[in-house]
Amino acid sequence: MSDIIVKAARGWIGTPYRHQAACRGAGTDCLGLVRGVWREIMGGEPEIPPAYSMDWSEPQGQERLWQAATRHLCEQPCEAGRVEIGDVILFRMRSGAVAKHLGIVSEIGEAAAFIHAYERYGVVESRLSDPWRRRVVARFKFPLEA
C-alpha cells in the first residue's frame, strides 16, 4: 500500500503552494496534500477542516493539526529517526511551537526523502536531512496500512 501512497503524492509534485487549498495542479498547502492523497486512495474526506490561519493556533498553543491527524490516521511510535515509506510525518518547525507541517515519506535509508507542500516552492520532494528529522514529532499511517 505504501507504493500507492507515494505514487499518489508524487502526482502532486509541481502543484503551487496555496494556503488552505487542496487541488492537485492548482494549489495546495501541506494539509491539502495529505487531504488530496487521502481522497485519491481512500475516497471522500473524513472531515472538512475549518478555516485555519498559517500559524495553526500557535498563539493559543493548541495542537490542532496533531489532534486532527490522530482522529483519522493511525499514530505510530515516533522513535528517533525511524520512518517508513508512506508514513505521514508531522513536524514542529521550532522548539516550543505547535506542530504545523506535514509530509509523506517517499524514500528511506541513505536517500530518505519526503513529499510536502512548502511555502514559496509548492509541492516538492525533499531530502529527509538531519535538520528535518529533528523536527519530526509524530508519524502516522493511512488506515489502510494499519
Tens digit of pLDDT for each residue in 29-80? 999 999 999 999 999 988 888 878 776 566 667 898 999 999 999 999 988 7
Res 100: pLDDT: 92
Query: Residue 13 is part of a domain; what is its CATH number?
Result: 3.90.1720.10
Cell of 54: 498559517
pTM, rounded to two decimals: 0.93
Quick count: other Cβ atoms within 10 Å of Cβ 84? Answer: 13
> For 31, what's the count of Cα atoms within 13 Å in the CB-facing half-sphere?
22
> For 40, what's the count of Cα atoms within 13 Å in the CB-facing half-sphere?
19
Beta carbons of 100 and 94 less than 8 angstroms apart:
no
Total domain count, the chain:
1
- Local confidence band at 146 (pLDDT 50, 70, 90 cut-offs): very low
- Local confidence band at 135 (pLDDT 50, 70, 90 cut-offs): very high
Residue 42: phi, psi to the nearest 5?
-110, -20
Structural domain of residue 51, as residue ranges? 2-145
Helix residue spans in the chain (DSSP H): 2-10, 30-42, 64-72, 130-135
Res 59: pLDDT: 65
